Amino acid sequence: MERRALVTGAGGFIGSHLAERLVGEGYGVRALVHYNALGRTGWLADSPREIRETLDIVAGDIRDPAFMRRAMDGVDVVFHLAALIGIPYSYLAPDSYIAVNVQGTLNVLEAARDVGAKVVHTSTSEVYGTAQRVPIGEDHPLSAQSPYAASKIGADQLALSFHRSFGVPVAVVRPFNTYGPRQSARAVIPTIILQLLADPRRIALGNLAPTRDLTLVDDTVAGFVAADRAEAALGEVVNLGTGYEISIGALAARIAEEMGVEPVIEQAAARVRTTGSEVERLLSDNRRAADLLGWRPRLAGADGLAAGLRSTVGWFRARGADALGDAARYRV
């Protein structure tokens, strides 16, 4: 029998890739996109027609509990990705992050409890803050360094509490710095690529020293699917990362090399994050994902990152001017 899935945030970067992957894996997929007056479906508009035509696309808002209950009808599993994710914006509008990331998650969990659906909940490596020890295992202390991270800690704990208190089947997946085609220009890899497409002579970034553990989106969504299929993941938090780190400065140089340019890499004061909020180091321990999910990243290490960057640069180049947007104004 076909397994029915609801993907919240299906119009977003990871969500659209996940919806496509689930169709390929034989799921029946209801794709929830954020309602807008223009009727846009986000990145699902870029999905191949044969996939788009199989999706049950619904528009709504996870902040509406009655809507969420209706959206969950007939669903076996909900992959919950809908969230406000921009870290800089969370400094300006933290209340919005509580409303969407915490209250919205509560509405998803209540609806799942009502219909008996499994929840694969999306966390973020930002909840760890700057690494106190490496590699970062799931037992690493949680230390929010932005309102965004704090809201995700709250959402994660709500999800786990519903498993412990009410027996809702919940698995929490914690991606480390996913990148790839369709990612927003506010993220570091797209902003580097887009700046170089606009002007190959220079890149302006924030702090260059912090390190990140970068996972290609195809590997991340494979981890989500594995989390649904693994009974051992119930009630657990599982990191999805490669176990390889690179500094922002070295990453910019690597992308420039891939694009065949030699820019000046500048640290711009306007792009530096608020004092105390910059996460200086992220490096995942992904052994639990291997043990519980049977998941390992297909692209890992320096060679894997090079291959992932090559495909990502190719995607942005193919989009040309349409991809440029307002990349120059984003802080990363």
Tokens of 315: 């995607």
Between CA 124 and CA 88 the distance in angstroms is 15
| Closest residue by Cα to residue 192 from 142, 257, 107, 245 | 257
| Other residues' Cβ atoms within 10 Å of the Cβ of residue 90 | 22
SS3 (DSSP) at 17: helix
State residue 28 phi and psi, 5-degree precision: -90, 125
Between CA 1 and CA 195 the distance in angstroms is 48
Tokens of 19: 């919806």
Between CA 80 and CA 170 the distance in angstroms is 11
Between CA 332 and CA 194 the distance in angstroms is 13
Between CA 250 and CA 256 the distance in angstroms is 10
Q: What is the largest CA-CA distance in the chain?
A: 57
| Closest residue by Cα to residue 22 from 225, 223, 179, 182 | 225
DSSP class of 30: E
Q: Is 35 a catalytic residue?
A: no
Helical (H) or strand (E) element with 279: none
Q: Which of 27, 97, 128, 148 is catalytic?
A: 148
Residues, the chain = 332
* Active site (catalytic) residues: 148
